[in-house]
Structure formats: structure tokens, C-alpha cells
Structure 1
Amino acid sequence: MQPAKKEAHLFVCGQCGFESRKWLGRCPDCGAWDSLTEQRGQSTGRSVRKTATAHPLSGAVEEESARLLTNINEMDRVLGGGIVPGSLVLIGGDPGIGKSTLILQLLASLAGQGRSTLYVTGEESVRQIRMRAGRLNIHEEAISVSTENCVEAIVDLALEMRPALLAVDSIQTVYSEEVGSAPGSVTQVREATARLLTLAKANHLPILLVGHVTKDGAIAGPRVLEHMVDTVLYFEGDRGQIFRILRTVKNRFGSTNEIGVFEMKESGLAGVDNPSALFLAERPVNVPGSVVLPCVEGTRPILVEVQALVSHSSLGTARRTAIGADPQRLALLTAVLEKKLGVTLFDHDIFLNIAGGIRIVEPALDLGVVAALLSSFLEKPIDASTVVCGEVGLAGEVRAVGQMEMRLREAGRLGFTTFLMPESSCRQLQKKVGTDIRILAIRTVAELAERLFNG
């Protein structure tokens, strides 16, 4: 007679997945407060240990497994050239941003190539998926849809069908029968992802996972989830705008911080081949507070418009608002202007916006922010054919940024004639990369003001 399984009481951290036999006010692993919740389940008992094997690296044979091209250029770009067989890809984003639409279009593209695909959804019915496919004009017979939530059943179905790609929407709705906690809990999400990871690696089956995000914009569930998968993609953008940014945060098979730009249309998401021209299409001319910045996202140079509005405040505390940029960086650059140029901004409201809904995190944005702030404060427009790029230090110096030749080439392609860049970057620039752009070397923010506004 087998002994009855004992019910185990565990307290699991909702941030990192740390487990404890007793409740703790603060997680000793990640330091989060009041993050441990009770998870009840049954212990699985003594497990059978498998025999480990090792192979010499020099004797390993690399299999000729080409990437799966989705024929969606922006998707292939962020993945590093296509989907790698056996990879586990996690896609996160706000509700309604277009994750399920992108997954369905990707499956339809592969089905159009004669490949069978499997779409497992735990949040919608088959009828709802058919309605979305009808709106997107997708009528591919090679797409199979299942509404299963049990990870063991999903694995059995994938082994039976042997699809070229498996998509699970979403991982928070999948549960394992061997875990007693509720679907969406830390234990369930971790166990379900581990089962799908084993399925992907053992059968060279690429799997796409859709993940919910928290109010802070991070993937919901344990932090270890992002470490388990091979690639992490974030869908960014405002649902009120037509642009969507698909950003690579982690990629074991390609470059990180790569982005893909999509435009939301009635027929679904369409890739944007020339995002620079699209972001600058509605740029006002000869208006104070507007300047063009050449930024680099991954391997792609993009020209964006930096907008600033500086107005006198009648309140006791002036406001500092930044959309698409770091608010702390805006406060720092405002202090630099007050200290080094004597510009009085403490009694002015400052609003900064990166037009188009894109978010810029690289330090090359600094010089564009300074130029836009000065332009709005002085009510003097910046020449429409001028671009600026550089990092600003606390002493008011302008520091070099990387990949300047790539930025210069993109600016020249779109017809800009003047490029203000750090002096150190100008020295490192071997040649003008075949463009006729006039390059102006800038050493300090005071010199920037002299060049743009004649002092």
C-alpha cells in the first residue's frame, strides 16, 4: 500500500519565485516586501534520477537547421534573421497592443509557405479566433487552433501533430496537473514554461509564448521566466497611436535592443521599411522647440523628432514631464543649462516629447533635448535641415557616442545638410561616408547655443 501524499504548504515570492516554508515579510532573495503568498500543493515524492551524459565540444556536430523566415521583415529583424528551431520566444505587451494579432499573422505567413502551425489559446474560443482571422483576411487551412490549458495535454498534442511552430497565448493561463496551485501563480507559470522548454529543445520545435505584463510594464510572473526563454520581445506603443514598436530585450541568437516598427491598419500590423521618414512626416517647420535626432536602435538608425515646450509657471513648483525619455535625465539636463548657461528654468514648466510614440534610452538623446529646450525658451526655431547628436555631462561638456557613421549616413539619405556632433566623435570619424553633410564639432553646451542661436 502506497503512503498518502502529504500536502505541502509553501510561501512563494511573486517577484522572483523564492520558496519558503514560513511566511516572511521581505523576500531574502530579491528584497521585495510583502511578496510571499501561500501556495498549497502536493509533494511529488521521491523522483527517479536520470543518468547525465556529456559530449566533447570538439566532437559536437552542428546540425544544418536554417531559421524559419516569417516573411514579416520587422519580425525577422528583431529575431536576428528568423525563428531558430528549438527556441523559446516570449512576447509581452500591454492589453490590446496587438500581440495576438501579430501571432496570428505570423502563423498565417508560415502556413502560406506550406508549414503546419498550432495555435493554443487559453483566453479565447475558437470562434473568437476565427472572427479575428476574418478581419485580418486570413483563411489558411494549415493553422490549427486549440483551447487547451493543461500543459501536459498541450505537449501531447504538439508531439502528435508535429507542427513547424507552436504558439501559446498566454503562458499565465496554462497549468500543470502535477502542481496544486491555481493557474497564473508563480509555481504554475514556472512549471508550465519548464515543460514547454523541454518540449522545444528535445524536438527542435520553436515555441512562441505570449505573456501578460504588470502595471509597471514587466512580464507578469517570476523573474526567472525571462531567464528560461531564449528571446524576450516587448510590444511598445500607445493604443491611441498607429505605430507599434517591437523591441528585443534578450536574444541568444542575435543582437539585443533591436526594434521592429509596425503600423496598425484595418488589415492588421504592417511592417514599416522606412521608419525615419514616417516619424518625420508631420514634423513642423520653423517652429521653436523642435529638433531632429539620429538615434540607433540595435542595428538600425532612426531619425526622430524631439519636441520641447518651456512655458512660465504660475504655480509654486514647476512641472517636469517627459514622454518617450527618462524624466530623471530631463531634470539633470535642465540643471546643467541653469548652471552653465545661466538660463532661468526653475520657474518654468518643461514638457518633453519624442514624437511617434518611440522611447529613446541612449545618451545620444542629451544634445537633442538641450537644443529643443533652448529653442523653446528663446523662441528661436532650429534650421529644419539640421540634426544634433551627443551626450552631455554634468560639467556641460559634450561627450562622444557610438556608431556615428551610421547616423551620418541616415541623415544624409533623408536630405539633411548640417550635423552637430561631439568634437571627439568628429575626430574619430574617418570620412563623411559619401555624404555632403556639413559637420560641426561641439565641445560644450555653450558652444551649441552659439552655433544654433548665434549666442
Structure 2
Amino acid sequence: MHVQAVASGSVKTKTVYRCSECDKESFQWTGKCPSCNAWNSLEEVTITAGKSGGGGGIAAAARAAEPSTSGRSSSSSSGGWGPTRRGAREVVNSLPQGKTRGGWVNTTGNRPQRIRDVGRHGYGVNWRLPLMGQGGPELARVMGGGVVPGSLILIGGDPGVGKSTLLLQVAAMLSAPEQAVVPPVQAEGQPLDAEDPPAEPTGQSVLYVSAEESVEQVGSRAERMGLQDSEDVFLYSATRLEDILREIVTMQPRGVIVDSIQTVYLDDINGSAGSVSQVRECATALLHVAKREHIPIFLVGHVTKQGDIAGPRVLEHIVDVVLFMEGERHQAFRLIRGIKNRYGPTDEVGVFQMDESGLTAVDNPSALFLSDRSTHTGASSAVTVMMEGTRPLLLEVQALCSPVHQGQGAPFRAPNGVNRDRLGLILAVLNKHCGLRTHTMDLYTNVVGGLKMLEPATDLAVALAVASSYYEIPIPQDMAALGEIGLGGELRPVSHVDRRLLEAAKLGFTTIVIPAGHSAPRSARLQGIKVVRCKTVADAIRTVLGSGLRRPRRGGESDDEREEMLLPRSGHSDDAGPNDAQTAFHAAEHSIWSLHNTTVVISGVPVQAGNSKKEVRNNPTMSQEFKREYPEVKGMDAQAAKEKLEKEYDGLNVSLREWDGPPDAPKPMPLIFNPQMVWIWFNPETNKTLEARAFC
């Protein structure tokens, strides 16, 4: 792609190659940008002498502030306003010092001031424009209490998520004659009186600039939302930023919305609208006008396929506030997160619901993210409490374990709403310390409502949901759980536990499982809540699901045919559970614990955790009790017997072994006790199965 600047007269030009991703200039073309490593992003650009890729935004803002009679040219193609195609450096140098130089704020006549004096005759901490009406207070809370005049606010989100709808509502809110909080003006050295009444309520105009839609299209959407009677909202369709800046300075509106920053352009900047240089300089020009005129300006930002805001990274540094709008197309709710905020917190989230009239704030977000649990009969959902800034949200996470089919290969993982790396950590802990053979299961997780669980405090709920589906035992409907899981299987404390418990109590949860490191709740409103403290994940699974856990179902088995499984406990010896050989056999058979952290008695011989396998291997009586046979394949063809066992028993690793000795003679034992490893002994001459067994 070749871009050539238009020049008049005899001027010098030079040709460079500019990256469309990072705006880095090179003197020769290369396939990959040496700065950002983007491929095929270098574009040939011819630059006239005195023209620079930077500074055009400040120059455009300065020209917008000039009197209407200055700088006019009869040859201007923009209706006679402003110079035509003048270099940015020429415009800046022609203006008085301090008018455009100095960056994003006006520094003319500035002197150092004491920090305690700034608020006394400045704007103060409460100088904000309130957002009233439908969804206004919720958005104001995310922004730190309201809209700060002179701020530049960027709102990003996927296409169709509702950015334009939201900002059309914001325009109506700002134009409403609500009571605004204005900066108090007092003499220097006098204390700031918080009781002074604010200014009289007045309605002011708001300019909505659409560079993507016509005025008629925006008006049609406003009519559908019931905003057609907003007399102080002015619609303006334009893409040339010089025209937009002129209207802002002329109208002096209470607020401005530009939809979007990727579709406006400056004449003095090379590149098409949306390019790196255009986005950077257009944002700089809008910021300069916002700071000088004390007008809040909202920008709509497109996103890339990776989910980042399109344009240079410096765009997020230029603006004062970055909000990101999230939501699924097939769901009605929307989330607005504060990614960056110079005037408030960045960990707040606003919850809205989309309908024909626009976005409405959700009064009880926790109820939105909980499914109808009163009629839910599945065995794989758990409730937890996640903190979004200062707001606790109750979320329901669901899990589904499905046995891996023969020949499928690696188990499948589909974490919807759960971080994949965090889920892998939880599954490893369940496999290592709780004995869940998750590596033989396909696993699907889902967070109801589409929200993402990013906080470690939700680990325990995910683990309980997985265990619930694995054992096919439902979690009580009135139980919630929260806690971070460590690599050793321990439960670690979480922050704001009292606030989380209060939120769970509001929605009717009577039993809450928390890490043992937390003390008893201090709030009097939690006296009727049963708080169960657990040290490990295994303790929590036993507490929630019970001690009589059975292995996953095979085929059409009934509950009576599923052997009971043994979970580890925090203690040793006497607190280890049933002391019988059959229970120990099932524990070893299904690799639930490998007899760690306990003592069992097998045929009258105590077996300690450290030498259990050795004792079993050397004691014929115990070896017999730990042997599992498959008599149904005896006499069958060896290969057919192998296929039959692998088909009927999921996860078995069947090996064929030749035996030319007497059929009833003892066969060698495996060196490793593995319930999933089965040996089929067969006669090599007849190829008939003599014996099929596994040693646990």
C-alpha cells in the first residue's frame, strides 16, 4: 500500500515505510516489523518536509479554539474553516507559546502550589456530573461516583454488545435537568464548606457524534428506547475530526459522545481512519479539548479478535477512564468493568440487563447468576461467592464428568467460565490428594450466566462440583462453599469472608463451607448460619457429599453394585475409617488413596501407609484378597478376551501374557499393583485364555 501526501509548490519529500500496527518507521521494507514483529504491516508513505506523524492532534485542538475569523481560507474544502492541509509543525509553531505546547493540559501561567490548597480553590473531590435515571447510578458507581468534567472516557466491547445503546442513554442522562455538583469557589486559605448548596439544576446540551451511522439511524434507535423527547441531545454525523472539534467548541455542550474513535480522522495525519497514527492523534486532540473546555468526552472503541481495544496501546494511556463492556449475544445481561480510572476504583463491575428500552441496572445480581436451583435435580452444581470490587456475587458452577471412550486418546477439557490453568491445578489436586481419577474422564464446566470465575476463592466450589459429578451425589441446595486450594490439597483463607457470608445468607443459604483458617463470623446477622470449617479438599468433599462414596458407574450397574470408596482424612490410625480388608481392597483398586495417611488391617495384619504394597506383595493371604479375577473370559480367545474387558470396563489396560506351564500353576505377580492393569494368561498353542486378573 502506498500513501502519498499532497503538497503544493516545490517541497522536499521522503519515502519511509510505516508499520500499521505500532507506527514504527523504517527506511526500507521488510516482511516483519522490527519493532512489534507484525508480518506484512509496513506501508510505503511519502512525507513532505516539515510534516510529522506526531503533534497533529494538539494542533487540531488549537485550531478549533481559534476565533472563527482567524485562519479562514477561501480555498478550504471544509466550508471555509481552518487552513487546508497545513503541516502540524507549521500550525504549532505559528501559535503563541503555551497555547498548544505542553501536552494534554493547559499549563499557561502555572506555578507550583501546595497540595492542600488545590482543592480549596480548585474543583474538589466531589466535582462530578451525576448520572440519574435508568441504569445511571450503577454506571456512576463503576466510574467512581459520576462523570468528571474534562475527562476522556473510552468504552470498549465486542460488536453488538450495546456500546452505542449505553452511550445514547448516557447522553440523555447528561442532558436531563438534574442537580449537578459543581466546584465550590472559596477564598484561598478558607476551609471548604461541604454544606454549601450546589448550583441550581439546569439542563444542558449533549452532542452525540456518530461516525458510523446516519442521524436518522441513531434517531430511530432513540425512538425505540423512548428517548425521542430528549430536547437537549443533538445528533451529528461526521467523520472529519476538525469539524467535530469546531462544533464542540462552538456549542460548549455538557458532554460529548464520539462513536467511534476508529472511524474519525484528521486531515493533517497520514493514514486512513483507524490506523495507529490517526487513532493516537485524534484521541490526543479530543483530550486536549476536553481538558481545556472542561467537557467530558466519551469514546467508543472497537476491539480486535483477541479481545483488545483496537489501535495503539497509547490510546489507553491517553484516556482517563477505560470501561469494558462484556456480554453474550444470546443472553440479556451485560457487565461493565472499570479497567482504568484516574478518578475512582478499577475493580468495580456494573451489572445491567438489556431489553428493548436499553440497559437497566440489576438490583440483585447474585440472583441473576443463580439458576432455578429449587427444581434443579442434577448432581453437579455448587454455589460460591466471588468478589467483584466491593460487591459480592453468588455464582453457580456446574461440572460434568464423562468416562473416556476406548481409543479416544487424551481426555477432553471444556472449561466454560473457569480459567483453564486453574482448572488443571484443581484436577491435579483432586487426582493426587483425593483419588479422583480425573485423567480417565472428559470434563465439562460451566458458570451459570456466562460470568468468568477469575478469583482463587472459587476453587473449592469448582472442586466440589467436579467431585459431585464424579461420584453422582448431589450437593445440598442450601449449601455454598468458598476457599482457595493449595498444591498440597489444603484450603487457604480468602478475603472479605464476612461480606461473602452475608451475601449468601441473604439468598437463603444456611450452610457454608470455608477454610479452617477463618475464625467464627463476627456479624450478628450470621448467627443462624452453619459455618463448616475444613482443612483440606478431602475433608470438604466428605463433609458435603458424605463418607459412603462409590466409584463411578459402569454401564448399567445399580447403586448396590458400585463398591464403596475410601477418602483420606486429616488424621491417622483410629480416624482412618473402616479397618477391613474389603474396604482397603476397594481403596487400592480404584486408586482413591493408595492407603496413604492411614492404617488398615488385612487378614489380621496391620498395614502401615509406607509399606502397604510391600506387605501385600510378601503376604500370600493378603495378596489373594487384593487379587481381582475376571472369570467370564476364561476359555475365550485371548484377543477376544482382551477386547471384551476393554469394552466392558472403562480405563483398563489389558496385556496378553503367554503361559506354557501347567494351567493351574501360580502365575507371576505384577511388580506394580495397579487396579487398572489386567494380565491375560493364555496358552500360545491354543490361544485360549487361562486366567485374567489384576493385582491391586
- TM-score > 0.5, shorter chain as reference: yes
Query: 1:18-97 counterparts in 2 under 5 A?
Result: 18-23=24-29, 31-34=36-39, 36-38=41-43, 40=45, 42=47, 43=51, 44=87, 45=89, 48=93, 50-51=97-98, 54-58=110-114, 59-60=117-118, 61-64=121-124, 66-71=127-132, 72-97=136-161
Q: How far apart are the structure 2 equivalents of 1:317 and 1:220? A: 37
- 1:340/1:129 CA distance change after superposition, 3 Å: same
Residues 408 and 433 of structure 1 are in contact (CA less than 8 Å); yes or no, is this contact kept in structure 2?
no
For 2:173, the equivalent position in structure 1 comes to: 109
Q: How far apart are the structure 1 equivalents of 2:159 and 2:217? A: 16
Q: How far apart are the structure 2 equivalents of 1:28 and 1:229? A: 28
Q: How far apart are the structure 1 equivalents of 2:491 and 2:477? A: 22
Q: 1:119 aligns with which of 203, 208, 229?
A: 208
For 1:214, the equivalent position in structure 2 comes to: 304
**Alignment gaps of 5+ in structure 2:** 1-7, 52-86, 178-202, 548-696
Q: How far apart are the structure 2 equivalents of 1:396 and 1:19? A: 53
Name the aligned partner's letter for residue 295 of structure 1.
Answer: M
More divergent stretch after superposition (104-113 vs 209-218): 104-113
- 1:295/1:433 CA distance change after superposition, 3 Å: farther
Q: 2:464 aligns with which of 371, 382, 387?
A: 371
**Alignment gaps of 5+ in structure 1:** none
Q: CA deviation at 1:3?
A: 5.5
- 1:293/1:210 CA distance change after superposition, 3 Å: same
Q: 1:275 aligns with which of 343, 356, 365?
A: 365
Q: How far apart are the structure 1 equivalents of 2:348 and 2:490? A: 29
- 1:298/1:24 CA distance change after superposition, 3 Å: farther
Residues 271 and 277 of structure 2 are in contact (CA less than 8 Å); yes or no, is this contact kept in structure 1?
yes
For 1:146, the equivalent position in structure 2 comes to: 236
For 1:244, the equivalent position in structure 2 comes to: 334
Q: CA deviation at 1:278?
A: 2.1
Q: 2:381 aligns with which of 283, 287, 290?
A: 290
- What secondary structure is seen at the aligned counterpart in 1 of 2:393? strand
Q: How far apart are the structure 2 equivalents of 1:433 and 1:23? A: 71
More divergent stretch after superposition (40-49 vs 71-80): 40-49
Q: How far apart are the structure 2 equivalents of 1:222 and 1:77? A: 28
Q: CA deviation at 1:19?
A: 4.0
Q: CA deviation at 1:434?
A: 2.2
Q: How far apart are the structure 2 equivalents of 1:96 and 1:360? A: 23
More divergent stretch after superposition (17-26 vs 100-109): 17-26
Residues 13 and 19 of structure 1 are in contact (CA less than 8 Å); yes or no, is this contact kept in structure 2?
no
Query: 1:139-178 counterparts in 2 under 5 A?
Result: 139=228, 140-178=230-268
For 1:396, the equivalent position in structure 2 comes to: 489
Q: CA deviation at 1:342?
A: 1.3
For 2:402, the equivalent position in structure 1 comes to: 311
Q: How far apart are the structure 1 equivalents of 2:249 and 2:347? A: 34
For 1:12, the equivalent position in structure 2 comes to: 19
Q: How far apart are the structure 1 equivalents of 2:263 and 2:350? A: 27
- What secondary structure is seen at the aligned counterpart in 2 of 1:317? coil
Q: CA deviation at 1:40?
A: 2.4
For 2:217, the equivalent position in structure 1 comes to: 128
Q: 1:300 aligns with which of 391, 416, 433?
A: 391
- What secondary structure is seen at the aligned counterpart in 1 of 2:449? coil
Larger radius of gyration: 2
- 1:324/1:182 CA distance change after superposition, 3 Å: same
Q: 1:432 aligns with which of 523, 539, 551?
A: 523
More relative contact order, 1 or 2 (CA 8 Å, 6+ apart): 1
Alignment partner of 1:441 is 2:533: yes
For 2:425, the equivalent position in structure 1 comes to: 332
Residues 249 and 257 of structure 1 are in contact (CA less than 8 Å); yes or no, is this contact kept in structure 2?
yes
Q: CA deviation at 1:422?
A: 1.6
* Percent pairwise identity: 43
Name the aligned partner's letter for residue 63 of structure 1.
Answer: Y
Q: How far apart are the structure 2 equivalents of 1:303 and 1:34? A: 45
Deviation sequence 1:224-262 (CA, Å, 0-9, x none): 111111111111111111111111111111111211111
Q: How far apart are the structure 1 equivalents of 2:464 and 2:300? A: 40
Residues 206 and 253 of structure 2 are in contact (CA less than 8 Å); yes or no, is this contact kept in structure 1?
yes
For 2:667, the equivalent position in structure 1 comes to: none
Name the aligned partner's letter for residue 406 of structure 1.
Answer: R
Residues 387 and 411 of structure 1 are in contact (CA less than 8 Å); yes or no, is this contact kept in structure 2?
yes
Deviation sequence 1:17-38 (CA, Å, 0-9, x none): 4444444555555x54427432
More divergent stretch after superposition (110-119 vs 195-204): 110-119
Q: 2:314 aligns with which of 224, 238, 262?
A: 224
Alignment partner of 1:322 is 2:411: no
Q: 1:352 aligns with which of 428, 439, 445?
A: 445
Name the aligned partner's letter for residue 18 of structure 2.
Answer: F
Name the aligned partner's letter for residue 42 of structure 2.
Answer: T
Q: CA deviation at 1:124?
A: 0.2
Residues 371 and 448 of structure 2 are in contact (CA less than 8 Å); yes or no, is this contact kept in structure 1?
no
- What secondary structure is seen at the aligned counterpart in 2 of 1:241? coil
Name the aligned partner's letter for residue 544 of structure 2.
Answer: L
- 1:254/1:35 CA distance change after superposition, 3 Å: farther
Q: CA deviation at 1:347?
A: 2.1
Q: How far apart are the structure 2 equivalents of 1:18 and 1:399? A: 47
Residues 151 and 176 of structure 1 are in contact (CA less than 8 Å); yes or no, is this contact kept in structure 2?
yes
More divergent stretch after superposition (109-118 vs 223-232): 109-118
Q: How far apart are the structure 2 equivalents of 1:389 and 1:404? A: 9
Q: How far apart are the structure 2 equivalents of 1:282 and 1:218? A: 34
Deviation sequence 1:306-356 (CA, Å, 0-9, x none): 111111122222111111221121122111111111111112111111111
Q: How far apart are the structure 2 equivalents of 1:34 and 1:335? A: 39
For 2:183, the equivalent position in structure 1 comes to: none
For 2:347, the equivalent position in structure 1 comes to: 257
Residues 30 and 42 of structure 2 are in contact (CA less than 8 Å); yes or no, is this contact kept in structure 1?
no
- 1:406/1:253 CA distance change after superposition, 3 Å: same
Deviation sequence 1:109-137 (CA, Å, 0-9, x none): 22232221000011000110111111111
- 1:437/1:19 CA distance change after superposition, 3 Å: farther
Q: How far apart are the structure 2 equivalents of 1:194 and 1:292? A: 46
Residues 335 and 349 of structure 2 are in contact (CA less than 8 Å); yes or no, is this contact kept in structure 1?
yes
Name the aligned partner's letter for residue 205 of structure 1.
Answer: I
Name the aligned partner's letter for residue 241 of structure 1.
Answer: Q
- 1:22/1:333 CA distance change after superposition, 3 Å: farther
Q: CA deviation at 1:445?
A: 0.9
- What secondary structure is seen at the aligned counterpart in 1 of 2:525? coil
For 1:419, the equivalent position in structure 2 comes to: 512
Q: CA deviation at 1:398?
A: 1.3
Name the aligned partner's letter for residue 443 of structure 2.
Answer: I
- 1:18/1:371 CA distance change after superposition, 3 Å: farther
Q: How far apart are the structure 1 equivalents of 2:14 and 2:138? A: 49
Q: How far apart are the structure 1 equivalents of 2:455 and 2:31? A: 37
Residues 243 and 357 of structure 1 are in contact (CA less than 8 Å); yes or no, is this contact kept in structure 2?
no
Deviation sequence 1:72-105 (CA, Å, 0-9, x none): 1221121111111111111111111111111111
